[in-house]
Amino acid sequence: MSTIQSLKNFIRHGKQARAGTPHGEPTTNVTAVHVERQREPQSQQPQYAGFGGLDHTAAKYDQKHPQPSQQESAATVKPSRAHEQEIEQIVAEEKLNSSTMPSYPGLERWILLKKMGDGAFSNVYRARDSTGKYGEVAIKVVRKFEMSAKQRANILKEVQIMRQLDHPNIVKLIEFSESRQFYYIVLELCPGGELFHQIVRLTYFSENLSRHVIVQVAKAIEYLHETSGVVHRDIKPENLLFYSIPHVPTKNPKPPVPGEEDKVDEGEFIPGVGAGGIGTIKVADFGLSKVIWDSETMTPCGTVGYTAPEIVKDEKYSKSVDMWALGCVLYTLLCGFPPFYDESIQTLTEKVARGQYTFLSPWWDDISKSAQDLVSHLLTVDPEKRYTIREFLNHPWIRQTNEETHAAEDAPH
């Protein structure tokens, strides 16, 4: 496996800072919405609103059942019994799936449609509101009878934080309730799924699309830090969800770069709308979030590849850890792989602690100096010198101005 492929694999798998949790418990609480993309192969992920989803299904069907030749009249071609049996089987499976959805006391309002995934103590379902108020949602059913008192407290803390949040770039908590054995967390369903899959699909994002994505994430972080006093502590591509938009093919496509002949066309970028089928971004998964306002904490958490040096060094840290993670995400969007990677968790931790990364050639050769300078100010080891959210949003690359920019003092050369 090539180094770059390993880097791309790391975007998905990462290395958790808190290893060895009991019963395979993940170090972060997986939110109901993004479990869908973690547990299902991409070919099986649900498609929505006709934004390209039907094309894949049609192509797959055509490969198995070729169309009649031009000499044949379409009117004379009739479905074979095998085709009819295949359709009947699909219908039967759908009926069986719907009939085998479990029934939970206290969830009578919600019609469970499909199991989307599961966690150490939970199952996640796509569901429909029988009252019609919310349409489709994601419901995380947590088996609290299997959890310790501390784990139950963490769930309630996550819910309490999400209850106070109301921002267009943050997944909304719709409802929380419980029965004797279960917690029910009803969340906004983002039909696009995880941003991670789009990085894999597109290989990397253009600077325009990267800016479109990262500004929305930054606006969410600004709200968390300055309005809610919350530090997220687990910003990464898997925890960024999105709403799909129609794909607009590029009007004047450029010749493919050598070695990138298979790169998917991102399409035309529409300011304020997006590109590549990616529209509104939503920050999800507040399982590791904490209300700290201007205080500091020392709790180890997060995914090492996106975790700030002060965390891996067990030092006190503050909200600036989210700015480091923002830099890791921006780096990944622009080139397709994360800034810090190693198969060894110990070596990876040492690289993060030292801020040891580089703008690898040829992947960064065509990326603007302004974008590289901004990344360097986010991936600054000293949290006192690291960009704040205000400095980030005021950077020339974000504002799309031609002002001269300068790299951070510890930027790679």
Per-residue pLDDT of the chain (413 residues; tens, 9 = 90+): 555 555 555 554 443 333 333 333 333 333 333 333 334 444 334 333 332 333 333 333 333 334 434 444 334 445 577 777 777 776 666 566 555 889 999 999 999 999 988 888 999 899 999 999 999 999 999 999 999 999 999 999 999 999 999 999 999 999 999 999 999 999 999 999 899 999 999 999 999 999 999 999 999 999 999 999 999 999 999 999 999 999 999 888 777 777 777 788 899 999 999 999 999 999 999 988 888 766 555 555 556 677 777 666 666 778 899 999 999 999 999 999 999 988 889 999 999 899 999 999 999 999 999 999 999 999 999 999 999 999 999 999 999 999 999 999 888 87
Question: Whose CA is closest to 268, among 246, 243, 242?
Answer: 246
| Cβ proximity of 318 and 390 under 8 Å | no
Q: What per-residue confidence (pLDDT) applies to 23?
A: 37
How many of the other CB atoms lie within 10 Å of CB of 153? 11
What is the token pair recorded at 147? 């959890």
User: Residue 227, Cα to own-chain centre: how many angstroms?
Assistant: 23
List, in order of start, the domains of the chain with CATH numbers: 8-18+192-399 (1.10.510.10)
- Which secondary structure element, helix H or strand E, spans residue 139, and what is its range? strand 136-143
Confirm whether 382 is a catalytic residue. no
Q: What per-residue confidence (pLDDT) applies to 342?
A: 85
Spatial distance between the Cα atoms of 265 and 105, rounded to a whole number of angstroms: 47
Q: What per-residue confidence (pLDDT) applies to 25?
A: 36
Question: Whose CA is closest to 300, among 281, 287, 316?
Answer: 316
Q: What 3-state class would DSSP assign to 122?
A: strand
Cα atoms found within 13 Å of the Cα of residue 160, Cβ hemisphere only: 9
- Which secondary structure element, helix H or strand E, spans residue 325, and what is its range? helix 320-335
Question: Whose CA is closest to 169, among 232, 117, 121?
Answer: 232
| Cβ proximity of 374 and 397 under 8 Å | yes
Question: Whose CA is closest to 191, among 404, 36, 25?
Answer: 36
Please name the residue that has the structure tokens 């990616």: 278
Kindly name the residue from 166, 234, 322, 365 that is annotated as catalytic: 234
Residues 409, 11, 271, 273, CA torsion sign: negative
Give me the helix-helix angle, 3-13 and 195-202, nearest 10°.
160
Q: What per-residue confidence (pLDDT) applies to 311?
A: 64
| Cβ proximity of 130 and 111 under 8 Å | yes
User: In DSSP terms, which residues pair with 173 in a beta bridge?
Assistant: 187
Please name the residue that has the structure tokens 């790299």: 407
User: Residue 352, Cα to own-chain centre: how many angstroms?
Assistant: 22
Please name the residue that has the structure tokens 């998905």: 12
Q: What per-residue confidence (pLDDT) applies to 93?
A: 63
Please name the residue that has the structure tokens 């920050």: 283
Residues 184, 187, 191, 195, CA torsion sign: negative
Q: What 3-state class would DSSP assign to 21?
A: coil
Please name the residue that has the structure tokens 């004797």: 180
Q: What per-residue confidence (pLDDT) applies to 227?
A: 93
Spatial distance between the Cα atoms of 337 and 129, rounded to a whole number of angstroms: 39
Q: What per-residue confidence (pLDDT) applies to 293?
A: 62
| Cβ proximity of 36 and 124 under 8 Å | yes
